[in-house]
């Protein structure tokens, strides 16, 4: 298609608007606006802005939190309950000092009672560590003081989660606790004999089945260190490197800024693993760029939200729940990362396809190549910052633990940064990174502790197996319907529950139902993991999409709808690897894997153009159905379905080509 001169000049002017006088990418969203936006969509961002003594107290507590984990990772972990107890006590201190009882009357100065209460929570959190030997030797014969502290510990966990994570997870955990007590009053298969408050408290607070269970254990080992690793990488300026690399690769192409957003978010997902943080971090630059190029505000916000959400499924460092998958399935983390690689690539490929054809439909050009950074120049100047990421992959592949891999990454991030002055971290920058890492881990720690309550009730009452059997019965033993009900459950939970807790709930209740129907355990857990993540962009409560809409100044609901459409791959890919486990490297060969990957990409192409309604020219409704059907047939494994799908797509594109030849397309039509 040829573009007329006036349209070309207009596009070039829009592109020039995103470049500052210094040649740097500029953002039209202020830091204050971003902070206010985060407070609206991310409970963890509602902390106090402390100053003076208050600030430095919290600062050094956070540094000590990080130093504790680095020390135990290097010289040996404490016994499980002691390690987790200290982890919990640090998290309690930071939560009750940083997060007010209510945001309506929040003030940025601590009172004497804040210090007193924080000290009390530290005592409760570390009670297991202080009394470890006695409690271990008690054999369940706990003292009255133990029960009192345990009860307070459970209540403090719920309150801390309310302050930093949000009310929904507290409601769910509280419902589970009530179920464990009033079990005898529940109908049908849900009924159980019920447990005393003492039994519930001791199970929740003094064993490794409850608050101090696997979720908090993973937070106290792998997750904390990888969050800390991400904080160190950010201090070296790797975020700017990601943007420059994405710009050099795709900034010149049709709809370049949107493609830059996809690539940048995929790269940042290897470090952050947070949908909202990724959306706000890279979206503050990419969303204004997309709007200035000509994308609709809803589409611009949706692209960033959908791409940023995919960061949690992008190896080598995925969302926090990926480390829980390794523990729950007893699978080495590197196997989780390898299994997730192809589905993650398909997810981003699907978004990339839709971004490309939206740009073609709207006649949107990219930037001039001479305004973009050169790929080799970027690599030569700052490519050394990739060394820690490459090292982590190598260490994991060699069979070392994630803890050791994170330590290697931490050390190399400092060493790699020293190579050039621009990326070098000063001693104070290192201390600041220690503080930032600890602050970033607080929300995950409390989500994991609260999720431990849910796991504790499941193990105490046996509700997990009962719910799995009930789910299979409701679905009539049909795998597809069981998967569908599981998907709906995950999406509903995701309306207010963090991905970590969402995964814990669905993996203990829904995943067993899928496994009962013959699905490999890893594929079943990845299925619930995916839908726990995609809840961040699925209306009505789509936190990542709302963050994107806040930057784009668009309608939040329709931004979420558009993001869901862009992320259609996230709704299809999990079904693919359940019905075809070869996609997650289960029972496959290189040749079979390559064939499946090619046909799956072709299928994503068909579904992508159907979602946008444009291939070589505009599509009518029946053409969109035709392409979607052909794409789904290609995604479904099998020689017959692949052949039919290829024929349908071939005929569809042939029809589009002939239609394009017969009429003149209006370039730059209203989008």
Which tens digit of pLDDT belongs to each residue from 307-360?
Answer: 888 878 888 777 778 888 988 898 888 889 888 888 888 888 888 888 888 888
Q: Label residue 67 by pLDDT band (50, 70, 90).
A: very high
- Smallest CA-to-CA distance from 670 within 287, 362, 258 is with 362
**Do residues 356 and 309 make contact, with C-beta atoms less than 8 angstroms apart?**
no
CB proximity list for 86: less than 8 A, separation 6 or greater: 68, 78, 125, 126, 129, 220
CB burial of 380-413 (b: ≥16 within 10 Å; e: otherwise) equals: ebbbbbbbbbebbbebbeeebbbbbbbbbbbebb
Global pTM value: 0.84
Per the listing, tokens 């910052």 go with: 385
CB proximity list for 99: less than 8 A, separation 6 or greater: 46, 47, 48, 160, 163, 164
The torsion defined by the Cα of 519, 523, 527 and 532, in degrees rounded to 10, comes to 130
Whole-number Å distance between alpha carbons of 190 and 14: 61
Q: Report the pLDDT averaged over residues 431-448.
A: 92
Residue 667: pLDDT above 80?
A: no
Whole-number Å distance between alpha carbons of 650 and 605: 12
pLDDT of residue 123: 97
Across all residues in the chain, what is the average pLDDT? Answer: 84
Distances (CA, A) of 376 to 372, 373, 421, 422, 423: 12, 9, 19, 18, 18
pLDDT of residue 666: 47
Poorest-pLDDT segment among 20-29, 40-49, 295-304:
20-29
The distance from CA 316 to its chain's CA centroid, rounded to whole angstroms, is 13
Of 445 and 547, more confident: 445
Neighbouring CB atoms inside 10 A of 264's CB total: 28
**Do residues 283 and 545 make contact, with C-beta atoms less than 8 angstroms apart?**
no
The distance from CA 98 to its chain's CA centroid, rounded to whole angstroms, is 24
- DSSP, collapsed to helix, strand or coil, labels residue 614 as strand
Whole-number Å distance between alpha carbons of 537 and 302: 8
- Summarised one tens digit per residue, pLDDT across range 459-472 is 999 888 888 888 88
Q: Label residue 671 by pLDDT band (50, 70, 90).
A: low
- Smallest CA-to-CA distance from 573 within 602, 604, 606, 594 is with 604
Q: Report the pLDDT averaged over residues 39-56.
A: 82
- Smallest CA-to-CA distance from 459 within 524, 419, 504, 414 is with 504
pLDDT of residue 665: 47
Whole-number Å distance between alpha carbons of 98 and 95: 5
Q: Report the pLDDT averaged over residues 522-537.
A: 87
pLDDT of residue 477: 84
pLDDT of residue 7: 36
Residue 547: pLDDT above 60?
A: yes
Whole-number Å distance between alpha carbons of 630 and 619: 15
- DSSP, collapsed to helix, strand or coil, labels residue 548 as helix
């Amino acid at each position: 298609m040829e573009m007329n001169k006036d349209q070309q000049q207009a596009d070039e002017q829009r592109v020039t608007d995103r470049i500052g006088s210094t040649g740097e990418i500029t953002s039209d969203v202020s830091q204050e606006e971003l902070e206010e936006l985060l407070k609206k969509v991310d409970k963890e961002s509602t902390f106090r802005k402390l100053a003076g003594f208050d600030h430095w107290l919290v600062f050094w507590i956070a540094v000590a939190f990080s130093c504790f984990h680095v020390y135990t990772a290097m010289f040996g972990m404490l016994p499980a309950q002691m390690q987790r107890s200290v982890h919990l006590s640090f998290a309690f201190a930071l939560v009750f000092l940083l997060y007010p009882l209510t945001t309506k009357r929040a003030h940025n100065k601590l009172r004497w009672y804040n210090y007193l209460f924080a000290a009390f929570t530290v005592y409760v959190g570390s009670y297991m560590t202080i009394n470890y030997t006695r409690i271990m030797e008690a054999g369940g014969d706990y003292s009255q003081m133990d029960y009192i502290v345990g009860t307070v510990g459970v209540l403090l966990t719920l309150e801390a989660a309310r302050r930093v994570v949000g009310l929904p997870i507290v409601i769910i955990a509280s419902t589970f606790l009530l179920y464990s007590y009033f079990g005898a009053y529940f109908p049908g298969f849900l009924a159980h004999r019920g447990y005393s408050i003492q039994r519930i408290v001791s199970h929740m607070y003094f064993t490794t089945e409850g608050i101090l269970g696997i979720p908090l254990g993973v937070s106290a080992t792998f997750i904390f260190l990888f969050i800390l690793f991400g904080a160190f990488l950010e201090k070296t300026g790797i975020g700017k490197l990601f943007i420059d690399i994405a710009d050099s690769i795709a900034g010149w192409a049709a709809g370049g800024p949107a493609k830059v957003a996809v690539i940048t978010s995929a790269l940042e997902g290897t470090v952050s693993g947070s949908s909202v943080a990724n959306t706000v971090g890279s979206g503050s630059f990419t969303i204004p760029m997309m709007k200035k190029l000509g994308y609709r505000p809803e589409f611009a916000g949706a692209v960033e939200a959908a791409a940023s959400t995919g960061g949690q499924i992008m190896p080598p460092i995925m969302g926090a729940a990926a480390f829980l998958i390794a523990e729950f399935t007893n699978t080495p983390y590197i196997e989780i990362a390898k299994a997730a690689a192809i589905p993650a690539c398909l997810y981003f490929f699907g978004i990339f396809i839709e971004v490309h054809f939206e740009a073609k439909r709207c006649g949107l050009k990219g930037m001039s190549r001479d305004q973009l950074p050169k790929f080799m120049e970027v690599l030569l100047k700052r490519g050394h910052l990739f060394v820690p990421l490459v090292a982590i992959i190598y260490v994991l592949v060699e069979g070392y633990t994630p803890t050791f891999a994170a330590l290697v990454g931490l050390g190399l991030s400092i060493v790699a940064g020293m190579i050039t002055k621009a990326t070098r971290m000063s001693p104070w920058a290192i201390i600041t990174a220690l503080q930032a890492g600890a602050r970033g881990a607080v929300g995950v720690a409390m989500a994991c502790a609260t999720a431990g309550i849910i796991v504790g009730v499941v193990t105490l009452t046996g509700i997990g197996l009962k719910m799995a059997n009930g789910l299979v019965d409701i679905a009539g033993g049909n795998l597809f319907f069981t998967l569908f009900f599981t998907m709906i459950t995950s999406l509903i939970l995701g309306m207010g529950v963090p991905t970590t807790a969402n995964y814990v709930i669905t993996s203990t209740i829904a995943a067993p139902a899928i496994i009962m129907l013959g699905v490999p355990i890893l594929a079943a857990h990845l299925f619930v993991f995916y839908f726990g993540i995609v809840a961040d962009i699925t209306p009505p409560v789509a936190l990542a999409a709302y963050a994107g809409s806040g930057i784009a100044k668009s309608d939040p609901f329709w931004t979420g709808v558009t993001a869901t459409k862009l992320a259609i791959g996230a709704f299809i890919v999990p079904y693919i690897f359940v019905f075809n486990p070869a996609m997650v490297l289960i029972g496959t060969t290189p040749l079979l894997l390559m064939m499946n990957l090619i046909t799956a990409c072709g299928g994503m192409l068909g579904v992508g153009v159907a979602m946008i309604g444009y291939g070589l020219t505009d599509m009518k409704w029946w053409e969109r159905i035709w392409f979607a059907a052909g794409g789904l047939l290609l995604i479904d494994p099998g020689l017959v379905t692949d052949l039919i799908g290829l024929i349908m797509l071939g005929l569809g594109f042939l029809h589009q080509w002939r239609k394009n030849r017969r009429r003149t397309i209006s370039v730059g039509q209203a989008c």
